[in-house]
Amino acid sequence: MRRAFLILIDGLRPDVLEAEVAAGRLPNLKALTDRGARSRAISVLPTTTSVAYLPFLTGCFPGTCNVPSIRWLDREAYTGRWWKDRAAVRNYCGYQAGMLDDDIAPGVQTIFQLVPESLAIFTMITRGLTPGRDPAQGARKVVGSLAHYVDCYGLLDRRAAREFLAAVDQPWRFVFTQFPAVDGYTHGATPAAREVLQSLHFIDRSIGRAVVRLDELGALDDTLFVLVSDHGATKMHTHVDLAEWFMARGVPTLHHPVLWARNPRAAVMVAGNAFASIYARPGVPRERRWTMEQLRRPEAFGTDHDVVAALVREPAVAFVAGEDAEGNVRLASSAGEAIITRDEAAIRYTLLSGDPLELGGSFSGDRDAWLARTFDAPFPDAAVHLLDQFSSRRAGDLVLAAREGYDFRNRYEIPEHKSGHGSLIRAHMHTPLWTNRPLPLVPMRTADVFPALLDWLDVPVPQGIDGRAVWQPGRAPRAKHPHRQPAGALHSR
């Protein structure tokens, strides 16, 4: 029986993993992936826990799932009443975490629905799981909220490892395991902090034990391992609290965790914390986003100036994105403005007065071409993910990506996030993609892992997903001497 283990190390930067294996400190992972590949994949916008799990578990980007961020506002339903309208504002980092499953677009199927013999350990997305197939859910909720304050991430990883090793001996076809400690330790220090590296060493030993056991069972050749992360991270030297920024301009601003302002003229929803969604006049229900042009008028936020122009002057802001009346994406940064349009043939990025995506010029191509052209660009795959973001009605009127070293939240972030993620920058978008099977020599996105898992398990891939069937580990001829497969792929380094 073929089996697949998807191991997600939350918030792990690929270069941290690559340096540890190069230093000889991840012997089990090295041995396992020497038969396959150590590569990288591109994540989604925003690069935050839970929404960035969606591509692995559904094959779809967050916008396609209609879950554009971890915090969002339903502009059609919210009327400004703190208690009565609380269900029209979402924050998955609290009591509303359980609403995520129902918020995912009804047509989107999770791998747990498609593979009934699947188990998940510490998953935020549970659609299709029964309680018996989600053994650590209670522990995740209780210990997870405590870990935020009392630093017991190591405990969570040990629990994950225990469940993972127990699953090896059970007949599950698909096992998803999330190790949460790396993200927690990263926020408290740096992406390569001593505690992060110790977590990796622990995971390496756990995987080593699983491999030994699978070998004893004679099941190793029929097992696909895929080790990934949902997003990267960077050290934050400056917190610019965006809600305070608006309030300093006299704009009553709705923001978490207070979530109430009398006659608010802006709602600021931060994620990661280097990504933000901004909604104008949130208490007045309307169907459509306002256009960038409307939002630039002083009356949009009730100020005496163009708020978009003021935002792009902030060193923290890499760029501001909004829509125009035709549904194209408008980008503004301190370097000028550009537009992203789309037709059947291509996604076109056209410079107007500048180059906010720092591509060095206009560029046009399909999704494959964008991925190949921008894999190592300052904002990898940005046009694809900005279009995805605005495909969700729940997305903000404006979205902001922070520059490296900056984030958008200061007040109420306890303990302080010394490192973080959320933005479209390379250090947040690049994630590790390591496996014990060969990878194709094409650049990949995290969404491409989902069809690969289904291919391995002989389960038909649903139509209409964002992930591409570029990696078909189940179709590759079984190598008699798997160690002869070349290690590494295009983006190994």
CB of 10 to Zn ion, least distance (A): 7
CA distance 362 to 380: 15
Of 64 and 229, which has the nearer Cβ to Zn ion? 229
First to last CA, the chain: 33
CB of 41 to Zn ion, least distance (A): 18
CA distance 15 to 35: 20
* Candidates 3-11, 18-26, 135-143, 198-206; binding stretch for Zn ion (CB under 5 A): 3-11
Of 42 and 307, which has the nearer Cβ to Zn ion? 42
CB of 266 to Zn ion, least distance (A): 25
CB of 336 to Zn ion, least distance (A): 32
CB of 272 to Zn ion, least distance (A): 7
Q: Could you tell me how many residues of this chain bind Zn ion (CB under 5 A)? A: 2
Of 11 and 451, which has the nearer Cβ to Zn ion? 11
CB of 264 to Zn ion, least distance (A): 27
Which of these, 471, 391, 491, lies nearest to 42 by C-alpha position?
A: 491
Of 135 and 272, which has the nearer Cβ to Zn ion? 272
Of 267 and 274, which has the nearer Cβ to Zn ion? 274
Q: Residues 424-459, buried b or exposed e (16+ Cβ, 10 A)?
A: bbbbbbbbbbbbbbbbbeebbbbbbbbbbbbbbbeb
| Site membership for Zn ion, residue 407 (CB under 5 A) | no
Greatest Cα pair distance, the chain, in angstroms, is 72
CA distance 440 to 489: 7
CB of 50 to Zn ion, least distance (A): 10
Site string for Zn ion, 5-24 (x = CB under 5 A): ------x-------------
**What residue number has its CB nearest to Zn ion?**
183
Of 43 and 118, which has the nearer Cβ to Zn ion? 43
Instruction: Work out whether strand 238-239 and strand 406-407 pair parallel, antiparallel, or are unpaired.
Output: parallel
Encoded tokens for 82? 């703190």
CB of 241 to Zn ion, least distance (A): 18
| Site membership for Zn ion, residue 157 (CB under 5 A) | no
Which of these, 45, 361, 11, lies nearest to 157 by C-alpha position?
A: 11
Of 148 and 209, which has the nearer Cβ to Zn ion? 148
* Candidates 14-22, 176-184, 197-205, 482-490; binding stretch for Zn ion (CB under 5 A): 176-184
* Candidates 180-188, 201-209, 400-408, 448-456; binding stretch for Zn ion (CB under 5 A): 180-188
Q: Which three-class secondary structure state does DSSP give residue 198?
A: helix
Question: What count of other Cβ atoms lies within 10 Å of the Cβ of residue 361?
Answer: 8
Between residue 315 and residue 344, which ones bind Zn ion under the rule CB under 5 A? none
Cα dist. 60→113, 276, 446, 462, 477 in Å? 15, 21, 9, 11, 28
Contact 2, 458 (CB under 8 A): yes
* Candidates 137-145, 158-166, 182-190, 201-209; binding stretch for Zn ion (CB under 5 A): 182-190
Of 11 and 232, which has the nearer Cβ to Zn ion? 11
Q: Residues 247-257, buried b or exposed e (16+ Cβ, 10 A)?
A: bebebbbbbbe
Of 337 and 407, which has the nearer Cβ to Zn ion? 407
CB of 267 to Zn ion, least distance (A): 22
Q: What are phi and psi of 431, to 5 degrees?
A: -130, 155
- Single out the residue of 134, 157, 163, 183 in contact with Zn ion (rule: CB under 5 A): 183
Residues in touch with Zn ion (CB under 5 A): 11, 183
